[in-house]
Amino acid sequence: MKERIKLLLIAGVFLAAYYIPWSHPLIRQSGLEAFMMLQEYARQHVLTCLIPAFFIAGAIAVFVSQGSVLKYFGARASKILSYSVASVSGSILAVCSCTVLPLFAGIYTRGAGIGPATAFLYSGPAINILAITLTAKVLGWQMGLARAIGAIFFAIVTGLLMALIFRKDDAARTSGQIYVPEANADHRSLLQDSLYLLTMVLILVFAAFARPASDATGLWPMIFAYKWYITTALLGILAFMLKAWFTKNECVNWVESTWGFMKQIFPLLIGGVLVAGFLLGRPGHPALIPEQYVQSLLGGNSIWANLFASVAGALMYFATLTEIPILQGLIGSGMGKGPALALLLAGPALSLPNMLVIGSVMGVKKTVTFCGIIIIMSTIAGLIYGSFAG
């Protein structure tokens, strides 16, 4: 299968080089916009935002036990605890929808309730530190915060609604405690692991700290003026932690996990940026798709614009993080902020391939209900956010 994909990719590049009329002024301008957008990402987002986030994701994958999270989805677990863990577990266990599907299938077939299982299914691709961080950096902290809060709220409400609607079916299923292997004993304390992760989060926050408005006064301009001194001090603290608390083998595993995420995501992100730049351009710089098309379908904050964004996001497949440059281009072409959030909340968690897999696990009726809940809530969230964000 991988060799077939490589062949199709090579054939696609060849056909594009052969048939696309690059001499046409509009095509030439669109091609330039694609690489200008890629340069913008390289200069503004990669070193100060994505690289620290990759290291955090690698640390979570290596040092946070999946078993310690999954054990809370069993039939005997507290409902409050189950939904709390399920709603934020995406930041720990999964980076994209392809990762969460086998985990969902495993916990559901082993006895997890439909509520916690579907809360976990939504949170997996919708809540991850890379996506939330890049959303805030590229689309603004307001959009990043709305996405984070909305995704956690959606996960809980979706799970509760699924448990309520299918309570009879759920009670009839064979209920049992999920088996998970015991995590290996850790020679560090929970406090040490927490301080280690907190230090990396602070490095990310200060390294990516944006220049405040020219008329801003008080704390924010001061933080910006000293952000590299603070970041350097935090890097020194992190180096001390790694030397004192971690073995060489653990550090190697951490770097390898980080590199694994980078290999998986960077090529997809570069491709997504180039495609988004070619089709939509940067804000204020039009490209192949005329702005009036985007404005007519997704402009403003009408219920139809939000619903269209939710349905389109639910059907489309977004590779990890590629939804962000696509939205950047759409917003620059006239997309409203409400529909943008609606697409962010529906898109990464759903796709047509995803729906087919989910349907094979829990049936067509539950799958249609699950997707319908997310589309309706995404539409409502977009309307609310758009009315405040303008």
Task: For residue 320, name the pLDDT band (cuts at 50, 70, 90).
Answer: low
Whether 151 has a pLDDT exceeding 60, the answer reads yes
Task: Categorize the per-residue pLDDT at 9 as very low, low, confident or very high, splitting at 50, 70 and 90.
Answer: confident
Of 177 and 230, which is predicted with more confidence?
230
Tell me the domain boundaries of the chain. Answer: 25-188+246-389
Average pLDDT, the chain: 80
Q: What is the mean pLDDT of residues 252-256?
A: 89
| pLDDT over 90 (residue 234) | yes
Whether residue 178 is predicted with pLDDT greater than 70 in this model: the reply is no
Torsion angles phi and psi, residue 142, rounded to 5: -65, -45
Q: Quick one: pLDDT band at residue 379, thresholds 50, 70, 90?
A: very high
- Mean predicted confidence (pLDDT) in 22-35: 88
Q: Which helix (H) or strand (E) holds 194?
A: helix 190-207
* Predicted pLDDT of residue 331: 85
Is the pLDDT at 205 greater than 70? The verdict is yes
Residue 97 pLDDT? 57
Q: According to the per-residue pLDDT averaged within each range, which of 9-18, 41-50, 103-112, 170-179 is highest?
A: 9-18
* pLDDT for 212 beyond 90: no
346, 374 contact by CB (below 8 A) = yes
Using a pLDDT cut of 70, give the percent of the chain over it.
83
Query: Which residue's entry shows tokens 């969460």?
Result: 100
Return the pLDDT at 133. 80
Region 247-270: what's the mean pLDDT? 84
More confident residue, 322 or 141: 141
Residue 177 pLDDT > 60, yes or no? Answer: no
Lowest mean pLDDT among 22-31, 75-84, 144-153: 75-84
Per residue in 341-370, pLDDT tens?
999 898 877 877 678 778 877 888 998 999
Going by pLDDT thresholds of 50, 70 and 90, the confidence category of residue 240 is very high
pLDDT tens-digit series, residues 306-315: 998 898 888 7
Selection from 190-194, 281-285, 337-341 with the highest mean pLDDT: 337-341
Q: What predicted TM-score, i.e. pTM, was given to this entire model?
A: 0.66
- pLDDT at 74 (0 to 100): 58
